[in-house]
Amino acid sequence: MSRFNTTFEIHLHGTVSLRTEITFEQLQDVLRPIWVYAGALSLTECADSFYEEEPGIRFDANDHLLQICWTIKGEDDFRQALDDMCMGLNDLTQAGAALEVTFYDAEFDDEDEVQGRDSRDDFLMLFVGPTPAAIMQVQRDLLVQDLITLMERHFDASELSDVVLEVDKLFSQRFDSLVNSLEISMPPKGSGGGSTGHGGRRPRHLH
């Protein structure tokens, strides 16, 4: 699944809780964008990571989990494959989840560092979930965890409750705004409209 003259080693990491009825075949279809990008003919063919010590892509049918610790060599266009994957994965999820994606600059070496050049390393978080509320809950939990970790260097955990409350207010406002925008875009009841406007569709995933 390796590519010649690739710019990045791309590491994808995360655990996604799936609905109990989800099958391997459904999961394989949803993950098609990334295994096709890898040049494989199936998910099974590309499930192993570029690095042997990483578990790769695994489907735990007993606990209904998608577990990913997987590296591929690729280019910046892998981001589109990730977007396409997340759009389909939302419909299989039981709860919100975060996926970490790290782009390591494969062309950056010691000589570049000595000459003061910057690497093109990049990091992003992708979020999937059955509903916008589930996705926002994961985002909220991660932000609270980061804030507490940072601020506990200076304050006791018991002193940070007001900070958590303010974060909750911000996410409540964002969710209310989202709900209002969806309600405005919905056609009036009984209008007989066969479709909704673009704004009436729930967001697939949030970066």
More confidently predicted of 112 and 2: 112
Residue 16 forms part of a structural domain: yes
This prediction has a pTM of 0.74
Kindly tell me if the per-residue pLDDT of 126 is higher than 90: yes
Distance CA(180)–CA(4), nearest Å, equals 48
125 plus 190 within the same structural domain: no
Domain end position, chosen among 104, 130, 156: 130
53 plus 126 within the same structural domain: yes
Domain end position, chosen among 130, 150, 180: 130
* CATH at 63: 3.30.70
Confidence class for position 118, pLDDT limits 50, 70, 90: low
The residue with tokens 């977007």 is 83
Domain count, the chain: 2
Kindly tell me if the per-residue pLDDT of 192 is higher than 60: no
102 plus 66 within the same structural domain: yes
CA distances from 197 to 80, 189, 204 (A): 24, 14, 15
Kindly tell me if the per-residue pLDDT of 87 is higher than 90: yes
89 plus 176 within the same structural domain: no
Q: Which domain, by its residues, includes 172?
A: 136-200
Residue 2 forms part of a structural domain: no
Domain end position, chosen among 84, 109, 130: 130
Kindly tell me if the per-residue pLDDT of 10 is higher than 80: yes
pLDDT digits (tens, 9 = 90+) for 21-77: 999 999 999 999 999 999 999 999 999 999 999 999 999 999 999 999 999 999 999
**Residues with Cβ < 8 Å from 64, sequence gap 6 or more?**
17, 18, 19, 20, 22, 94
Q: Mean pLDDT for the chain? A: 83
Residue 206 forms part of a structural domain: no
Residue 1 forms part of a structural domain: no
119 plus 24 within the same structural domain: yes
49 plus 104 within the same structural domain: yes
Secondary structure (3-state) at 177: helix
